[in-house]
Chains A and B, each alone.
Chain A
């Protein structure tokens, strides 16, 4: 029979956002799996940066007569079908995968946010047209869209960045527009508007910071798929197309021929892709929990 006081739900106002971010960071640091993910990512970032220093061999020079040697003390991960050191190639591959993957996600994020903010902010006919375009892009299964774009633009790192980026942009656009629309109806945006804040100010100061959290989470998770997709393109022979760079996906292209006598050539680059993708997935899930404490997985 207790007289219950109604639970007061406080949505963090943009002003208090510094405290909000700090809280989120603290929760993230306490999240074991997320920290493990961060560790995985850190290992590959270190490998990418230090590759020229720690690689025992030149990743692009093969030694004839030393092809497909199994892992040994000389070649930790063995040598590939033209006698190049697999370990050095995996290290250098981290450069391509991480940079191309993350730049692609950033590209997608920028395009997506422009479209999403324009659609969600302007509304009306602009919104309708932009969202139809987004629908069109979403109708093509992701990797297929990227494949089509590479086919169109030709091979090369920049092309891959654009292809994967464009195939992710619609997802971000839709996400941002969705949260902007929801925020537009929220009490504190109404309040800001009723106090005479200009539309641009409302959008930039009050809405975007709050719409940011789902984007951050999505972008981190997208980094995992981007690494996988970039590797997929490389595997299909649509990689950077430059024999001077090692790329994890490309290293797996001839895998069918390795099954019998050199399975380690599948295992090592494969493991590199899986571990870095797990890293971003763990971090993304952790970020989601940290940024939205009401949500548990």
Chain B
């Protein structure tokens, strides 16, 4: 088991290494002086010289790369050219917002997708199954921003049921301590703020979670149907176990396995989708930061954020793989 974990961790390292090479080349491969490309319309001779200095552009390429890598390993991702703040600092403020949104979407997708998948699998090709199939078809076919605005229109503009936009009502002036909107609301000791923070999370979480929801539902359905046809499920029924016990213990314990893998992979689509969701709902997280940085041609930030997102994605999948191994005794004991 330990060998398995070590092998997986070691497997992720060359991927990040390779990505850092690609991102490093990203700036150098732009035509012309990278400093001008980085600075764009902000270029002044003084700034250009400064960039040359920090990037070490006069040194050979491999030295530049080693410098870059060395900086990365120290957690130094460089600074934004817009506000000169270190990427790592701004990230620390914005990331909790994205995490909260992503977790909310994941809870929505998994919390609803698994029961729906099980329900559909109970009577394959029955009417519930058909309904679930149609809903999941919509889920994967509707862009996040279309769904997001539609939800905002229905629930915020027309029905006034839920707030839009932002992660929390600014009039509540909650102190940003952890930068997680809900946790900060709790810390503020104002119950109204907690309710408000949760209410703000609902619509973006649904918009972001719709694709994972559709996929988790489909996989759960397929997996439950597969497992239900296994011999050991017949054995369990032949032993006279109750239906609930057969479902929960014998079917779900096995059906979980492919579902976990898929949930891990969905984290990627959640991180990518956060870019759109945060833009639609005006959340000042990492996703909307990617968009403004691109609009500002703030390449250093874009480059760092891509690397960070990839690292998070790989880490989550590593954890999921290890979790999978724990769920699956055939791997755990080999």
Q: Do chains A and B touch in the complex (CB under 8 A)?
A: yes
**Residues on A close to B: CB < 8 A?**
132-133, 135-136, 139-145, 147-148, 150-152, 224-225, 228, 231-232, 235-238, 249, 252, 255-256, 258-260, 263, 266-267, 270, 273-274, 277-278, 281-282, 297
| Chain B proximity of A125: nearest CB distance (Å) | 14
Within 8 A of A (CB), among B1-26: 14-16, 18-19, 22, 26
- Give the distance in Å from the alpha carbon of A211 to the alpha carbon of B143 in the complex: 30
In the complex, what residue of chain A is closest to B281 when comparing beta carbons? A256
Contact in complex: B144, A152 (CB < 8 Å) = no
Question: Is B272 positioned at the interface, with any CB of A under 8 Å from its CB?
Answer: yes
In the complex, what residue of chain B is closest to A261 when comparing beta carbons? B157
Consensus secondary structure, chain A interface:
helix
User: Which residues of the other chain, A, contact B303 by a CB distance below 8 angstroms?
Assistant: 148
In the complex, what residue of chain A is closest to B124 when comparing beta carbons? A296
Contact in complex: B149, A252 (CB < 8 Å) = yes
B281-301 interface code vs A (CB 8 A; 1 in, 0 out): 010000000110011010100
B145's partner among A235, A260, A282 (CB-CB below 8 A) is: A235
A259's partner among B22, B143, B149, B306 (CB-CB below 8 A) is: B149
Contact in complex: B143, A270 (CB < 8 Å) = yes
Count of inter-chain pairs, beta carbons less than 8 A: 133
Question: Is B331 positioned at the interface, with any CB of A under 8 Å from its CB?
Answer: no
User: Which residues of the other chain, B, contact A270 by a CB distance below 8 angstroms?
Assistant: 142-143, 146, 149-150
B188-202 interface code vs A (CB 8 A; 1 in, 0 out): 000000000000000
Contact A147:B309 (CB < 8 A) given known A235-B145, A274-B146: no
Question: Is B152 positioned at the interface, with any CB of A under 8 Å from its CB?
Answer: yes
User: Which residues of the other chain, A, contact B15 by a CB distance below 8 angstroms?
Assistant: 132, 135-136, 139
Question: Is B314 positioned at the interface, with any CB of A under 8 Å from its CB?
Answer: yes
In the complex, what residue of chain A is closest to B22 when comparing beta carbons? A136
Within 8 A of A (CB), among B140-165: 140-146, 149-150, 152-153, 156-157, 164-165
Question: Is B279 positioned at the interface, with any CB of A under 8 Å from its CB?
Answer: yes
| Chain B proximity of A224: nearest CB distance (Å) | 6
Question: Is B269 positioned at the interface, with any CB of A under 8 Å from its CB?
Answer: yes
- Give the distance in Å from the alpha carbon of A236 to the alpha carbon of B152 in the complex: 18
Contact in complex: A140, B141 (CB < 8 Å) = no
In the complex, what residue of chain B is closest to A275 when comparing beta carbons? B141
Q: Which 5 A-B pairs have the closest CB atoms?
A: A141-B272, A270-B146, A277-B141, A143-B272, A136-B18
User: Which residues of the other chain, A, contact B218 by a CB distance below 8 angstroms?
Assistant: 297
B237-273 interface code vs A (CB 8 A; 1 in, 0 out): 0000000000000000000000000000000110111
Contact in complex: B149, A266 (CB < 8 Å) = yes
Consensus secondary structure, chain B interface:
helix
**Residues on B close to A: CB < 8 A?**
14-16, 18-19, 22, 26, 30, 133, 137-138, 140-146, 149-150, 152-153, 156-157, 164-165, 218, 222, 268-269, 271-273, 275-276, 279-280, 282, 290-291, 294-295, 297, 299, 302-303, 306, 309-310, 313-314
Contact in complex: B269, A256 (CB < 8 Å) = no
Contact in complex: A132, B314 (CB < 8 Å) = no
Contact A147:B222 (CB < 8 A) given known A139-B314, A140-B310: no
Taking A139-B16, A281-B141 as given, write out 6 further A-B residue pairs in contact, using a Cβ cutoff of 8 Å, ordered by the A residue number.
A143-B272, A144-B306, A228-B143, A277-B143, A282-B137, A297-B133
User: Which residues of the other chain, A, contact B290 by a CB distance below 8 angstroms?
Assistant: 144, 147
B157's partner among A140, A145, A259, A282 (CB-CB below 8 A) is: A259
User: Which residues of the other chain, B, contact A297 by a CB distance below 8 angstroms?
Assistant: 133, 218, 222
Contact in complex: B138, A274 (CB < 8 Å) = yes
- Give the distance in Å from the alpha carbon of A266 to the alpha carbon of B280 in the complex: 12
Contact in complex: A274, B142 (CB < 8 Å) = yes
Contact in complex: A236, B279 (CB < 8 Å) = yes
User: Which residues of the other chain, B, contact A281 by a CB distance below 8 angstroms?
Assistant: 137, 140-141
Contact in complex: A236, B153 (CB < 8 Å) = no
Contact in complex: A147, B275 (CB < 8 Å) = yes
User: Which residues of the other chain, A, contact B269 by a CB distance below 8 angstroms?
Assistant: 141-142
| Chain B proximity of A188: nearest CB distance (Å) | 27
User: Which residues of the other chain, B, contact A252 by a CB distance below 8 angstroms?
Assistant: 145-146, 149
Contact in complex: A255, B149 (CB < 8 Å) = yes
| Chain B proximity of A96: nearest CB distance (Å) | 15
User: Which residues of the other chain, A, contact B26 by a CB distance below 8 angstroms?
Assistant: 148, 152
User: Which residues of the other chain, B, contact A231 by a CB distance below 8 angstroms?
Assistant: 143, 145
Contact in complex: B18, A133 (CB < 8 Å) = yes
Contact in complex: A255, B145 (CB < 8 Å) = yes
Contact in complex: B165, A256 (CB < 8 Å) = yes
29 contacts between A and B (CB under 8 A): A132-B15, A132-B18, A133-B18, A136-B22, A139-B15, A139-B19, A140-B306, A140-B310, A143-B273, A144-B309, A147-B275, A148-B306, A151-B294, A151-B297, A151-B299, A152-B30, A228-B143, A231-B143, A231-B145, A236-B291, A236-B294, A249-B143, A252-B146, A259-B164, A266-B146, A266-B149, A273-B143, A274-B146, A277-B140
User: Which residues of the other chain, B, contact A238 by a CB distance below 8 angstroms?
Assistant: 294
User: Which residues of the other chain, A, contact B268 by a CB distance below 8 angstroms?
Assistant: 141-142
